[in-house]
Amino acid sequence: MKPYVFVGHPIERETRDYLEQHFELAVWNEPNKKVPAERLRDELQRAEGAMLTSTRVDAQLLADAKKLKVVSTVSVGYDAFDIDAFQEYGVLATHTPYVLDETVADLVLGLMISSSRRIAELHEYIKKGEWQPEPDSTFFGQDLHHRTLGIIGMGRIGEKVVRRARLGFEMDVVYHNRRRQPEVEQNYEARYMELDDLLQHADIVVVMVPLTEETTGLISTREFGLMKPTSVLVNAARGPVVDEGALVTALREKQIFAAGLDVFDQEPLPADHPLLLLDNVTLTPHIGSSTHETTREMEMCAAKNLVQALQGDTPQDLIKELKD
Ligand code: DGY
């Protein structure tokens, strides 16, 4: 008998066909509606494997999921998983690194450009029919080329952003990371800086760290106070890495010039969120990795991880804290 696997969101035909070769499959097929908590609990009790995206899996769920051997998230970030609980209950957890690096980097560049040149704001201005015949300097933005990019969290995606910024926009690059990255320093003349120095120095600050206890609220009131009034903040990592209340104040009081955000504390963003009242933001709905091509690749990667795990092999993308 094939192992029973639950998939918590609609998937591409190709992924489904592949999974069905190996598993008895149940798929939550309602787009735009999260699988209800009760259904998730029931499915995880029955399943040997699950494929999920941005779905909280904690000790309570795992304690009841007696048959569960592996949960595969279709994302590189795995902050939705309580990794200690996975360890405790002996359940494997996998993610989808590598396949999305270029795609997320593309979006980061998009947010950098839009925030600096005010593309989202000017788009609204034209759509409202407010375009005046004379050029209006109040709508001028800031150059991106030849300015200084500061990356906080120099992993694979950070490096792809640096390549684009350096080769395409001839930007100077500074970075802060837990470990120095000699190759990035050599290839892109990137300079390592302590966090405070980077915040004081960079024109564009891009946050790329994973969400952990240490990175929660990494950028808050004190940090905005260090940034230049002309600087732009881009966050395509996870919302809580930036203190959202402090960010709204910094944008409102023009402590910084603008922000480009793909991620938020609460997603979807509530309709009355103060960010929605600000002009100097470009907002995207946590879509960094979500192109047709890359979503397909991420799904197949997550599916292969499930197959490997349920065949008794070490899955290729086992989350690093669970290795050994
Ligand atoms: C990721 O892969 O972590 C993206 O942010 C989508 O969740």
CATH for 27: 3.40.50.720
**277-302 b/e (C-beta count within 10 Å ≥ 16 → b):** ebebbbbbebebbbbeebbbbbbbbb
Q: What is the model's pLDDT at position 139?
A: 86
What pLDDT does 253 receive? Answer: 98
Considering the domain architecture, whether residues 149 and 232 belong to the same structural domain is answered as yes
pLDDT the model gives residue 138: 83
Residues 52 and 190 in one domain: no
- How far apart CA 230 and CA 256 sit, in angstroms, is 6
Same domain? 109 vs 237: yes
**What's the CA gap between 161 and 86, in Å, rounded?**
32
Same domain, 129 and 251: yes
Is the shortest distance between the CB of 247 and ligand 1 below 6 Å? Answer: no
Cα of 289 to ligand 1 centre, how many Å?
A: 6
- Same domain? For 123 and 68 the reply is no
pLDDT at 134: 81
Say whether 43 is catalytic: no
Look up residue 227 and give its two tokens: 């940034």
Same domain for 14 and 151: no
276 and 297 in a single domain? The answer is: no
Substitution candidate for ligand 1 out of 51, 53, 54 with most atoms within 8 A of CB: 54
Options 267, 292, 293, 297, the catalytic residue: 267
Distance 193 CA to ligand 1 centre (A): 27
Question: What's the domain count of the chain?
Answer: 2
Tell me 42's DSSP state.
H
Q: Are residues 303 and 264 in the same domain?
A: no
Cα 125 to the center of its chain, rounded Å: 29
Are residues 145 and 248 part of one domain?
yes
- For residues 264 and 164, state if they share a domain: yes
- Do 263 and 116 reside in the same domain of the chain? yes
Structural domain boundaries, residue 19: 4-98+292-323
- What b/e sequence results for 38-47 when a residue is b if at least 16 CB atoms lie within 10 Å of its CB, and e otherwise? eebeebbeeb
- The DSSP secondary structure of 206-225, one letter per residue, reads EE-PPP-TTTTT-B-HHHHH
User: 């989350």: which residue's tokens?
Assistant: 319
Angle at which helices 156-169 and 101-117 pack, to 10 degrees? 50
Pocket test for ligand 1, best of 55, 100, 284 (most atoms within 8 A of CB): 100
pLDDT in tens, the chain (324 residues): 999 999 999 999 999 999 999 999 999 999 889 999 999 999 999 999 999 998 999 999 999 999 999 999 999 999 999 999 999 999 999 999 999 999 999 999 999 999 999 999 999 999 999 898 887 788 899 999 999 999 999 999 999 999 999 999 999 999 999 999 999 999 999 999 999 999 999 999 999 999 999 999 999 999 999 999 999 999 999 999 999 999 999 999 999 999 999 999 999 999 999 999 999 999 999 999 999 999 999 999 999 999 999 999 999 999 999 987
Contact assessment for residue 114 and residue 284, using Cβ atoms and an 8 Å cutoff: no
156 CA from centroid of ligand 1 (Å) = 14
Active site residue 201: no
102 in active site: no
Q: Give yes or no: residues 138 and 26 share one domain.
A: no
The single-letter code of the amino acid at 282 is T
Nearest CA owner, ligand 1 atom 7: 75
